[in-house]
Amino acid sequence: MKRKRIGASSLEASPIGLGHSMGFDDFSNAGLSEFKDLVSLALDLGMNFFDSSDAYWNGLHEEWLRIALNGSRHKAIVASKFGNITLADGSKATNAKPAYVQACCEASLKRLGQDCIDLYYLHRVDPQTPIEDTVGAMSRLVEQGKVRYLGICEAGIDTLKRAHRVHPITALQAEYSLWYRDTERDMIQTCRELNIGFVGYSPLGRGLLTGNIQSYEDLHVKDRRRIHPRFQGSNLENNLALVKQMQPIADRLEITLAQLAIAWVVAQGQDIWAITGTQRIKYLEQSISAAQLVLSHDDLQALEHIFSPQARAGDRYPREMLSGLGI
């Protein structure tokens, strides 16, 4: 698999990376064994980009990544994050105070079993802490040799520029898919101007673009997507009608809808990466294959016409969650 340099860094990453699955719930030894097999296969197939966070599985994702990469750490680019907190009542909060930055990094290094994290993101911008203070603290991690490069997630353009002035930002991570293309308007262009790589998570629109969801009832009663407007009522009906229009293209290319969606994201530029959250061998193989597909100009235009920004229905998150993004 061809690799691409992330921003102005020396990191050469596969065009698709492996993140975590929100729906995964088997934290037994059997689940760990499957995870190890998944990471091993990813490396064998040329994927070297692994995306984690201290928020994923309450830190267990970092621990499992350490175990899975045992003996193969030198083959991988490992990214992790801090600052996205779940409170005792289940609500979300942020903390990006300088002292917390240092503490989080130390804890992640221990869970990952590493001396240095390749790419360390601020997971969510803390509106109570100036970004200059946060990135200043993150830059000291670079000076200490505990982090190689810095990233930031779901930041607004002004915040990204302010952060970049304090210390070079290597990557911005935000949601990006055929269904959610808002970042195209200004954010990706800003990243290009600043030579910052753009890493898109949820390239399948939280599963919407797979064709596997046909109704609200297909979502488990505890599935968080049930509170997302894009998966509710007439919004879901509208969005599924868009997905249906993808099918003739996928059929002609003899690929799945999910592969078509991933191939579109990767095709958006040499400075664009996709993060998949699958925990299944079958879907990992398909995702890696999709990242190597070359879509024709006509197919790209057809997909972009189907998913024009005004065509989708419903916000990606509830209004209260959206207020914490793009700060």
Task: Evaluate whether 284 touches 278 at the Cβ level (below 8 Å).
Answer: yes
Give the separation between CA 239 and CA 314, rounded to whole angstroms. Answer: 9
Q: Can you read off the two tokens belonging to residue 254?
A: 């003899």
Check 56, 120, 176, 180 and give the catalytic one.
56
Q: Can you read off the two tokens belonging to residue 154?
A: 């779901």
Q: If DSSP codes are grouped into helix, strand and coil, which group holds residue 209?
A: helix
296, exposed or middle or buried, with CB in 10 Å at 0-12, 13-18, 19+?
exposed
Who's near 91: CB < 8 A, 6+ residues apart? Answer: none
Task: Evaluate whether 275 touches 286 at the Cβ level (below 8 Å).
Answer: no
CB-based burial, 11-30: b 16+ in 10 Å, e otherwise: bebbbbbbbbbeebeeeeee
Say whether 176 is catalytic.
no
The angle, 0 to 180 degrees and rounded to 10, between the axes of the packed helices 131-143 and 98-112 is: 40
Give the separation between CA 225 and CA 22, rounded to whole angstroms. Answer: 10
Catalytic residues: 56
